[in-house]
Amino acid sequence: MTTVSILGSTGSIGRQTLDVCRDLNIEVNAICAAKNIDLLESQAREFNVKLVSVYDKTLYGELKKRLADTKMCVMCGQEGNLAVAEFEGSQTVITAMSGMIGLLPTVAAVKASKRIGLANKETLVCAGHIIMPLAKEYHAQIIPVDSEHSAIFQCLNGRAGNRIRKILLTASGGPFYGKNKAELENVTKEDALRHPNWSMGSKITIDSATLMNKGLEMIEAKWLFDTDIDDIEVLVHRESIIHSAVEFDDNSVIAQLGVPQMYLPIKYALTYPKRVASASHKLSLVGKTLHFDSPDRDTFRCLDLAVFASKLGGFYPTIMNAANEQAVALFLHDKIKFLEIADIIEKSINGIKYTADTADLNAVIEADRITRRFVLNMVGE
Ligand code: MN3
């Protein structure tokens, strides 16, 4: 069994990773979180970790004091995140932080030749062109944790060098499936946070409501599976039982099915290539009906904005992603309306000109910073 470090242990994926580790008796060595030190402390104690870190430096003193009776190493800030990513005793790093903030720790884990359980899609969206070659160079195996990408990864087992003709990326459609623009004009964050199938963090749940999540996942899939973005088809599948599929040249379509819970892809990333039995999360197909539909691209404009940015290349995926992260944060603080999220992303893509070396990680971070500033100026914050 592997040994684990978790970047973002108090979030939805982080907590479920610890559920799997608890069930399978997997050793957890190092964890970090943004600011929830109550949960961080109890996780650190339960798993008796060697290293624990909080990103918010103002909470460092309190966390250190609380853990004074243990031998744990307590750290903070980006330095702590990097130490968790590189922790020598861990073979696997689960990147469960939400957003661009996960970029540098993910790069650090790759350079330390860890197995990466990749749950942070924003890093591939912004820096797939840097991370994928780096993973090859450092022999860091990347196993997707995102349910759709885990499904595609599983469908490609036994691919035997055959070409992928098409990836069928499934989407639940989110809470606003079937609604038109007029109906979305005044939806609230509470409406948007009510996801029909998946229980997730707030950022990704809003992304699911706008379909930006699927746009980010198209780019994520493009990098992970080395395909053209035009060969990825989004398929709305309300039941979230088929987690994605791959079409081959002989017209065969291979799909992966399961209950809509992250426990399964997380477990697969931790135990791959083994499939470890568990009593719960069993799928029963009797009586189930599966439906498929095309996404409504006119209403949910974020999907095509993501594809557009990906095709433009350069820093545009980073600009698109940063504008989305900032817009979602503004929406969650009741500063903008739901439909303005797409407007802000479009204006950012069209309005920001940033030229630098795209192979430079610091330039990617700078493009992200410039875009957030641009968005805040746009809405007068
Ligand atoms: Mn997903």
Centre of ligand 1 from the C-alpha of residue 190, in Å: 21
Cα of 108 from ligand 1 centre, angstroms:
24
Residue 204 CB contacts under 8 Å (≥ 6 apart), including other chains = 98, 213
Model pLDDT for residues 223-243, shown as the tens digit of each residue: 999 999 999 999 999 999 999
Mean pLDDT of the chain: 96
Q: What is the per-residue pLDDT for 358?
A: 96
Structure tokens at 152: 């595609």
| Token pair of 236 as six digits | 């709305």
Among the listed residues 298, 36, 348, the one whose alpha carbon sits nearest the alpha carbon of residue 184:
298
* CATH architecture assignment, domain 149-374: Orthogonal Bundle (1.10)
Would you give per-residue pLDDT tens digits along the chain (381 residues)?
A: 899 999 999 999 999 999 999 999 999 999 999 999 999 999 999 999 999 999 999 999 999 999 999 999 999 999 999 999 999 999 999 999 988 889 999 999 999 999 999 999 999 999 999 999 999 999 999 999 999 999 999 999 988 899 999 999 999 999 999 999 999 999 999 999 998 888 888 999 999 999 999 999 999 999 999 999 999 999 999 999 999 999 999 999 999 999 999 999 999 999 999 999 988 899 999 999 999 999 999 999 999 999 999 999 999 999 999 999 999 999 999 999 999 999 999 999 999 999 999 999 999 999 999 999 999 999 998
pLDDT in tens, 183-208: 999 999 999 999 888 888 899 999 99
pLDDT of residue 215: 98
Distance from residue 195's CA to the centre of ligand 1 (Å): 13
| The pLDDT of residue 196 | 82
Determine the distance separating the centroid of ligand 1 and the alpha carbon of 338, expressed in angstroms: 21
- Give the integer Cα–Cα distance in Å for 96 and 203: 13
Cα-to-chain-centroid distance, residue 297 = 22
Query: Which CATH number applies to 3-144?
Result: 3.40.50.720
- The Å distance, Cα 147 to ligand 1 centre, comes to 5
What pLDDT is attached to residue 199?
Answer: 80
Sign of the dihedral defined by the CA atoms of residues 337, 146, 246, 261, in that order? negative
Rounded to the nearest angstrom, the distance between the alpha carbon of 271 and the centre of ligand 1 is 20
pTM: 0.96
Runs of H (alpha helix) within 160-287: 181-184, 189-192, 202-210, 212-224, 263-271
How far away, in angstroms, is 364 Cα from ligand 1 center? 24
pLDDT tens by residue, 137-175: 999 999 999 999 999 999 999 888 999 999 999 999 999
CA distance linking residue 121 with residue 146, whole number of Å? 8
Going from the Cα of 196 to the center of ligand 1, the distance in angstroms, rounded, reads 14
Helices (H) and strands (E) in the chain, counts: 16, 11
Which amino acid is present at 49?
V
Q: What is the pLDDT of residue 61?
A: 98
- CA 74–ligand 1 middle distance (angstroms): 32
Sequence spans of domains, the chain: 3-144, 149-374
DSSP string, 216-237: HHHHHHHHHTT--GGGEEEEE-
For residue 208, report the distance from its CA to the centre of ligand 1, in Å: 9
Q: How far is the CA of 150 from the centre of ligand 1 (A)?
A: 9
Ligand 1 centre to CA of 57 (Å) is 31
Query: Using CA atoms, how far apart are residues 102 and 119, in angstroms rounded to an integer?
Result: 10
Centre of ligand 1 to C-alpha 268, Å, is 15
User: Shortest CA distance to 128 belongs to which of 366, 304, 365, 359?
Assistant: 359
Cα 148 to ligand 1 centre (Å): 5
Ligand 1 centroid to Cα of residue 31, in Å, is 23
What does residue 115 show for φ and ψ, rounded to 5 degrees? -75, 130
